[in-house]
Amino acid sequence: MLINCAILLVFLLAANANAFSWNKVGCFTRSSTGCTPFSLDATMPRVDEKYFSDPMVNPSLVNDYNISGDAGSRITLTRYLNDMVIKAGSDDLQSIRDLESIILSIQMACKTISNLVNRAGISNSSPNALSAGAISRSSLQDDPRSNSQIRLDLISTTVLQNALRFTGKLRMITPVNLLTGNEAGEDESEDDVEKCKRIESVTDDKPSEHQPGVIIASGLDDSKYVACLDPLDGSGNADAGICTATIFGIFENDENQPIDEIELQKSVLQPGKNLRAAGYCLYSSATILIFSIGDGVHGFTLDSQLGEFVLTHPNVRIPKLGNIYSCNEANSEGWTDSLKNYLKALKTGKNKSGEKYTSRYVGSMVGDIHRTLMYGGVFLYPSDTDTHPNGNLQLLYKSIPLGYLVEQAGGKSLTSKRQPLLSVRPKKIHERAPCFFGSPDNIKELKNFL
């Protein structure tokens, strides 16, 4: 019986041998049905040309931005930025080239960080990774989650710094709690101590011991840009498979080139309305780079097979009204009565839309903001009288870049006393402030309760 079955199987395969073929990219196709098998030319095309039109690509965007190539072809980040340079006028050409260089270096670092995050639960970096002295070995704890967070933070910071240095156009500032570079127990010189005191004058609370701190980068030579980056927001969530992200904001420094680190830190203390570009790279089920250079918000997804970011979310627009609210209600006992009334209105349907809202809260800020951009609604992290009297999210390198993106996508952002978030000038690097982001109609209704 088995022999008969085997003979029959061989016969069927032989009879259909001409009906099936493997194409050059490993796809199994049936050619006898009249369908033409997909095949590549003998010479591999450019990366951009591998992507053909689908519903995620908006051909009108290609025309609007005068991007070269077929209207239906999907666009890589490199190609997008190159066309941005081509369109630039002669007066802005060098400035745009510098901006292109910074964004490309960030995306290069994000590819590496994405791999690190995806493998966080598989490979644990050796404690020798901390040997640079940036974080003392005494800060390592018995808690595996804390140690994983320390290592991810440090490695992400190092990767991003190296990528920015590679441009040859930027210099780095050592994060506040990494200035002396001394191991625990080593003596600090008087100059180091004085330097710390001076830098603390433009910071709020020091970053927690596990957090290597933000990166501040300033342009060299004729470059006039200054950038502030959070290498890995939400790193404590990585081992749980919850999304993490890199956040960045790029300003223009109109004054003379700052000389020392104090001046460099002061040069980045600008309101969000002065941003030249901002964005985040979300490490989740996909790695998505969302950014804006002042012409709307565009999203590029990392193709892991090609190692390239490709345009998948052109001209992102936040819905005018959403039915999702996102906040940490564990802090609600310390909120004002008016804010509690607002949430009650959302949950009971006694609001302008007449619809009961859904609550969604990841606990990773960029993940919640990304969902709000895609689906609409409102994200809020207000101050509370118990543990966060000034709010809990850092203004300069978290709230301002994300607020800029929300507004570029057609949304609104606020801080305390109904003040527009992007009009606030941070006084210190780690200053915290209440923040509210969301769809325009949602924020308009929220203002009535603040």
Measured CA to CA, the distance from residue 424 to residue 75 in angstroms comes to 35
pTM: 0.78
pLDDT classification of 168: cutoffs 50, 70, 90: confident
Distances (CA, A) of 397 to 225, 232, 270, 345: 16, 11, 11, 32
Kindly provide the b/e burial profile for residues 157-168, where b requires at least 16 CB atoms within 10 angstroms of the residue's own CB: bbbbbebbeebe
265-274, 276-285, 319-328, 342-351: least confident range = 265-274
| Contact residues for 292 (Cβ-Cβ < 8 A; gap 6+) | 277, 278, 279, 298, 404, 405, 408, 409
Measured CA to CA, the distance from residue 410 to residue 61 in angstroms comes to 17
Taking a C-beta distance cutoff of 8 angstroms, is the pair 239, 245 a contact? no
pLDDT classification of 117: cutoffs 50, 70, 90: confident
**Mean pLDDT taken over the chain:** 77
pLDDT classification of 234: cutoffs 50, 70, 90: confident
The predicted model gives 304-325 an average pLDDT of: 94
pLDDT given for residue 15 in this prediction: 46
- Four-residue CA torsion sign, 132, 134, 135, 138: positive
Angle at CA of residue 174, ends 172 and 175, nearest 5°: 120
β pairing state of 297-303 and 170-173:
unpaired
| pLDDT tops 60 at residue 103 | yes
pLDDT given for residue 11 in this prediction: 47
376: left (phi over 0), alpha (psi -120 to 50) or beta: left
pLDDT given for residue 237 in this prediction: 79
